Amino acid sequence: MGPNSLDALCKRYSIDNAHRTKHGALLDAELLAEVYIEMSGGRQAAFRLVNAGDGDQYDADGNVRKLPPLVRPRPLAPRIHPEELEAHAKMVAKIGDKALWNSVAVE
**Residues annotated as part of the active site:** 23
Q: For the stretch 61-94, what's the b/e string if a residue is b when 16 or more beta carbons lie within 10 angstroms of its beta carbon?
A: eeeeeeeeeeeeeeeeeeeeeeeeeeeeeeeeee
| DSSP bridge pairs for 58 | 64
Q: How far apart are CA 36 and CA 15, in angstroms?
A: 11
C-beta atoms surrounding 10 within 10 Å: 19
